[in-house]
């Protein structure tokens, strides 16, 4: 009886030996590349605008993200090599600023210019561009289209882009700036036209 009791006690004790590894599917590309909750009305609208800029069908989610950095805290797009995810994550306060802009689309401020540039920037990442300087240059040039899509009159939309280029862009980290980002420069998407436009 004593032997049976000892065997039962040993079997019930927790094992400290090798345990099977748990498979974390949240780190796999098939999981990371797509959003995991339904889009809100705002997110659907931002997704439509982002799709227009990206040149393909993509989505946007307003959510916190843990891999954001102080350099680019506004949004993030995951990549698998050269392949971008199907959606961008935009920080909630940036999304809130977009909501304020939608309510007053004729307002012009550096905050709104930077907010719209974040959306355009992540949209170009969704297009497949990884280089931050190229992405930022293209994003500034897309601000008029993004602002207009959100209800801004054409003149205000262009002014927002000019604010971003004139005041925010020179203060960005070196990785986000390029000598080629200038009127009629190699990164000018519409040489001979307005800048940035």
How much is the pLDDT for 192?
85
- Tell me how many domains the chain contains: 1
CA 145 to chain centre: 17
The per-residue pLDDT for range 10-59, each reduced to its tens digit, is: 455 554 545 555 655 557 888 889 998 999 999 999 999 999 999 999 99
Residues 136, 121: Cα–Cα separation, whole Å: 6
Residue 17 lies inside a defined structural domain of this protein: no
Whether 184 is in a domain gets the answer no
What is the predicted pLDDT for the residue at 11? Answer: 52
Query: What is d(CA 27, CA 6) in angstroms, rounded to the nearest whole number?
Result: 43
168: left (phi over 0), alpha (psi -120 to 50) or beta: alpha
Which band of pLDDT confidence, cut at 50, 70 and 90, is reported for residue 8? Answer: very low
Q: What pairs with residue 75 in β-bridges?
A: 90
> In which band, very low, low, confident or very high, does the pLDDT at 66 lie, cut at 50, 70 and 90?
low
Average pLDDT over residues 2-11: 50
The answer to whether residue 15 is domain-embedded is no
pLDDT at 60: 98
Strand pairing report for 87-90 and 59-62:
parallel
Among 109, 161, 104, 100, which residue's Cα sits nearest to residue 136? 161
Query: Is 159 within a domain?
Result: yes
For residue 121, is it within any domain?
A: yes
Domain span including residue 123: 28-176
Do residues 96 and 153 lie in contact, with contact meaning Cβ atoms separated by under 8 Å? Answer: no
Q: Is residue 133 part of a domain?
A: yes
**How high is the pLDDT of residue 141?**
97
Q: Is residue 34 part of a domain?
A: yes
At 175 the pLDDT is: 93
pTM of structure: 0.84
Query: Could you tell me if residue 194 is inside a domain?
Result: no
Rounded CA-CA distance 43/147 in Å is 16
Cα 100 from Cα 88, distance rounded (Å):
20
Over residues 133-172, the pLDDT tens digits come to 999 999 999 999 999 999 999 999 999 999 999 999 999 9
pLDDT, tens digit, 9 for 90 and up, residues 80-136 = 999 999 999 999 999 999 999 999 999 999 999 999 999 999 999 999 999 999 999
Give how far Cα 136 sits from Cα of 49, 116, 172, Å.
Answer: 17, 12, 10
């Amino acid at each position: 009886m004593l032997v049976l009791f000892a065997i039962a006690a040993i079997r019930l004790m927790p094992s400290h030996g090798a345990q099977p590894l748990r498979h974390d599917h949240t780190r796999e590309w098939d999981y990371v590349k797509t959003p995991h909750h339904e889009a809100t009305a705002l997110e659907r609208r931002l997704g439509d605008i982002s799709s227009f800029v990206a040149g393909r069908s993509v989505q946007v989610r307003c959510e916190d993200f843990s891999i954001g950095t102080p350099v680019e805290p506004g949004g993030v797009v995951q990549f698998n090599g050269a392949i971008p995810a199907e959606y961008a994550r935009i920080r909630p306060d940036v999304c809130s600023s977009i909501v304020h802009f939608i309510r007053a689309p004729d307002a012009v401020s550096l905050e709104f210019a930077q907010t719209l540039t974040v959306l355009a920037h992540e949209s170009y990442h969704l297009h497949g561009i990884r280089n931050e300087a190229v992405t930022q240059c293209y994003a500034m040039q897309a601000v008029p289209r993004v602002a207009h899509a959100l209800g801004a009159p054409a003149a205000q939309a262009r002014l927002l882009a000019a604010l971003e280029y004139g005041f925010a862009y020179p203060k960005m980290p070196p990785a986000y700036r390029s000598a080629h980002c200038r009127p009629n420069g190699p990164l000018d998407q519409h040489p001979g036209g307005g800048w940035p436009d």
